[in-house]
Amino acid sequence: MRHSSSGFTLMEMMIVVAIIAILGMVTYPSYSEHVAKGYRSEGQAFLNDLVARQERFFAQNNTYVTDAANLADLGVMVTAGVAKSLNGKYQIGVGNIVVLPNDGGYTMTVAPLFGDTKCGNLTLNARGVRNITGTGAVGDCWR
């Protein structure tokens, strides 16, 4: 007479573990990229807010803030020479507001605080030209 056993064999358990590992390997990079896109949208919003503040400052003072040491003049909270985005995923500080040829008056760069190698720093100038310092495409990083 055969005894029926209830439960799983070691082989069945190993197959389940292997399937879970494969699913994890496939979905984790997608999840990480999705999270990074959300963080990038915070950086874009931060830069757009800074641009709006720059234009408001220009309308009132007939000049742009072109030195990060004067970030507080734009009405943002500056701590130790650095202003951070709402959730602290991006920052702008010394050397991140410059005047370049044909940029319309200023170029601002925000740096990620979460290790974004695809897009790196996000840059926006007074003419609305967007750029990145990472390895990805500008169109992919500015959506």
The 10 Å Cβ neighbour count of residue 85 is 22
Q: Which residue has the higher pLDDT, 4 or 128?
A: 128
Lowest mean pLDDT among 29-33, 55-59, 103-107, 135-139: 29-33
Average pLDDT, the chain: 90
Question: What's the pLDDT band for 24 if we cut at 50, 70, 90?
Answer: confident
The model's pLDDT over 36-78, given as tens digits with 9 standing for 90+, comes to 999 999 999 999 999 999 999 999 999 999 887 888 899 999 8
Beta strands 97-98 and 122-125, pairing class? unpaired
Higher local confidence (pLDDT), 40 or 2 = 40
pTM score over 0.85: no
Domain ranges of the chain: 10-141
Whether 135 and 115 have beta carbons less than 8 Å apart is answered as no
